[in-house]
């Protein structure tokens, strides 16, 4: 995970952090998945403002904010299943559940660190283009403008689950597919540990942390 990735992970929670109301369509005019993204943003922003004194003293409190405000909007199990790919079919139900929990915790820590690095970037959710919103699939695009004027593009892949809720299932940052990146990491670890899924699960968090330190 490089610095750009770490910096841009923050928009998962800060999608509209500095966007004036006039910069986007009124909430009622936005498609449902865009409204979900907007609500997630407002929820976490409220917590950041309210809890700033707490996480300034205790940085780990950022993980609490992420845990409480991210889980309702992200389908971690769906993402983890895709990360495991072929190994998901051969893994036991217990291994699947254990990796899902480890994977979720690793993302919470990554996103919490990204929130700590937020520094007044400007986020603009773009109006949906043709074909970007379907009955059960949607792409929510946004642009992030850094302080130096550099603009980055982010795409959020959303889907409508069986309960009728829109959930995040993937994230693409400047053309880098995070779901595929994690999937490749998992496959490399499977090869490294000779197909031992238990060892992959046991070492997943340390691998993610090592990659983060190496890149950033």
pLDDT at 113: 74
Element containing residue 124 per DSSP (H, E): strand 122-125
Domain range enclosing 51: 3-215
The beta-strand segments (E) located in the chain are 122-125, 137-145, 151-160, 166-173, 176-177
pLDDT at 7: 44
pLDDT at 148: 85
Looking up tokens 């795409």 gives 155
Looking up tokens 């409220």 gives 46
Q: What SS3 state is found at 177?
A: strand
Looking up residue 139, the CATH number of its domain turns out to be: 3.10.450.710
Give every residue of the chain whose pLDDT is below 70, as ranges: 1-30, 41, 45, 116-121, 209-216
Looking up tokens 């809890």 gives 51
Q: Which of 57, 24, 55, 56 is nearest to 42 (CA)?
A: 24
pLDDT at 19: 32
Can you say how many angstroms the Cα of residue 23 is from the centroid of all Cα atoms in its chain? 23
Domain count, the chain: 1
Can you say how many angstroms the Cα of residue 63 is from the centroid of all Cα atoms in its chain? 13
160-190 pLDDT tens trace: 999 999 999 999 988 899 999 999 999 999 9
pLDDT at 62: 84
Contacts for 179 with CB less than 8 Å, ≥ 6 apart: 79, 82, 83, 169, 170, 171
């Amino acid at each position: 995970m490089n610095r750009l990735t770490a910096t841009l992970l923050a928009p998962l929670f800060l999608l509209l952090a500095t966007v004036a109301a006039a910069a986007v369509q009124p909430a009622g005019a936005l498609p449902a998945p865009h409204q979900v993204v907007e609500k997630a943003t407002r929820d976490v922003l409220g917590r950041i403002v309210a809890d700033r004194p707490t996480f300034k003293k205790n940085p780990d409190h950022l993980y609490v904010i992420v845990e409480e405000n991210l889980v309702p909007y992200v389908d971690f199990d769906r993402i983890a299943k895709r990360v495991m790919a072929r190994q998901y079919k051969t893994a036991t139900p217990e291994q699947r559940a254990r990796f899902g929990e480890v994977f979720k915790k690793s993302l919470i820590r990554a996103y919490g660190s990204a929130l700590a690095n937020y520094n007044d970037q400007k986020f603009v959710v773009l109006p949906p283009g043709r074909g970007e919103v379907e009955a059960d699939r949607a792409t929510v695009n946004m642009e992030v403008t850094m302080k130096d004027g550099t603009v980055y593009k982010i795409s959020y892949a959303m889907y409508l689950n069986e309960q009728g809720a829109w959930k995040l299932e993937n994230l693409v940052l400047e053309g880098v597919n995070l779901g595929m990146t994690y999937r490749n990491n998992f496959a490399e670890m499977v090869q490294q540990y000779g197909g031992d899924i238990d060892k992959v699960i046991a070492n997943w968090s340390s691998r993610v942390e090592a990659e983060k330190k190496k890149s950033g």
